[in-house]
Amino acid sequence: MRNKKSGYYTATGDDGTTGLLGDARVPKDHPQTEAVGTLDELSAALGLARAFARSPEARDLAQQVQRHLYQIMAEVAATPENAARFRSLGPEQVAWLEAQIAALEAQAPPPKVFILPGDSQGGAFWALARTIARRAERRLVTLQRSHGLDNPALLAYLNRLSSLCFVLEVWENRAAGVARESRAQG
């Protein structure tokens, strides 16, 4: 097998490992890699939500959150001795999310019943992003317990982000003219 260099791949991961930000390599199924991969997947889902969002405000929110996620990915992908160097997300960004949720909630009060995702195309993408945000949060909890991730703002941010995604799902459904709430019934 030949390994040609390319601008799109390095071939250094062909052995099942990947590099961290620092001088270390870990298996591709390592908790750090799982966490970074899930955050990357979340950013892609937010990209879908942004592409289908009806309002410029929702698109702007998604884009800012995607930028925050890249900051989180850098910190999570760093070796323990380099993590502080890549730390740029803190309580201020958590407070920013809380302010965004409050502003949206004033325009779209919480539903009184559980809703089924899919009442609108855009809303469905926000629901997908919400579930991936929850999984990313679980991956960071695992990483925190097993490898000493020590920035509590990361977990708080992902927790609030899943709430923001839910509010945006409701908001998007209303913007699409979906007046009913699909009830999750058995």
Q: Residue 40 pLDDT > 70, yes or no? A: yes
Cα atoms in the 13 Å half-sphere on the side-chain side of 165: 29
Closest CA to 49 of 111, 133, 155: 133
Which DSSP state fits 183? B
Distance CA 158, CA 93 (A): 11
Distance CA 166, CA 158 (A): 13
Q: Residue 3 pLDDT > 70, yes or no? A: no
- SS3 of 152-182: the string is HHHHHHHHHHHHHHHHHHHHHHHHCCCCCCC
What is the dotted CATH code of the domain comprising 26-175? Answer: 1.20.1200.10
Mean pLDDT of 27-35: 86
More confident residue, 186 or 31: 31
Instruction: Provide the mean pLDDT of the chain.
Output: 89
Distance CA 173, CA 86 (A): 37
> Helices marked H in the chain — which ranges?
31-52, 56-77, 91-107, 121-147, 152-175
Query: What pTM was estimated for this model as a whole?
Result: 0.88
Which pLDDT value is given to residue 1? 53
Closest CA to 132 of 23, 16, 35, 22: 35
For the chain, give every domain's residue range.
Answer: 26-175
pLDDT tens for residues 131-160? 999 999 999 999 998 877 889 999 999 999
Which pLDDT value is given to residue 58? 95
